A = this chain, B = another copy of it.
Amino acid sequence: MKVLPEKTVKRLSEYRRTMLRCFDEGKTHIYSHELAALHNVTAVQVRRDIMFIGYSSQSRIGYDIKDLTKAIGKIIDPKEVMNLAVVGYGNLGKALSAYLMNKRPMLKLVAAFDIDPKKIGSLNSGIPCYSIERLREIIASQNITMAILSVPSSAAREMARALVASGIKGILNFTTVNINVPADIALEESDIISSIEKLAYFVKRTR
A interface residue numbers (CB < 8 A to B) = 3-4, 6, 9-10, 13-14, 17-18, 21, 37-40, 76-79, 82, 84, 90-92, 94-96, 98-100, 103-104, 106-107, 145-146, 148, 150, 169-172, 176-178, 180, 184-188, 190-207
Given contacts A14-B194, A100-B192, A193-B100, contact A186 B172 (CB under 8 A): no
Q: Count this chain's copies in the assembly.
A: 2
Nearest first, the 3 closest Cβ-Cβ pairs linking A and B are A92-B95, A91-B95, A13-B194
A199–B190 touching, CB < 8 Å: no
Q: Are B17 and A194 in contact (CB under 8 A)?
A: yes
The one of B78, B95, B187 that contacts A204, using a Cβ cutoff of 8 Å? B78
- Residues of B near A207 (CB, < 8 A) are 169
23 contacts between A and B (CB under 8 A): A9-B198, A9-B201, A10-B195, A10-B198, A17-B193, A17-B194, A39-B178, A76-B200, A78-B200, A84-B196, A91-B91, A91-B98, A99-B176, A103-B176, A104-B196, A146-B196, A148-B196, A169-B203, A169-B206, A169-B207, A185-B206, A190-B190, A190-B195
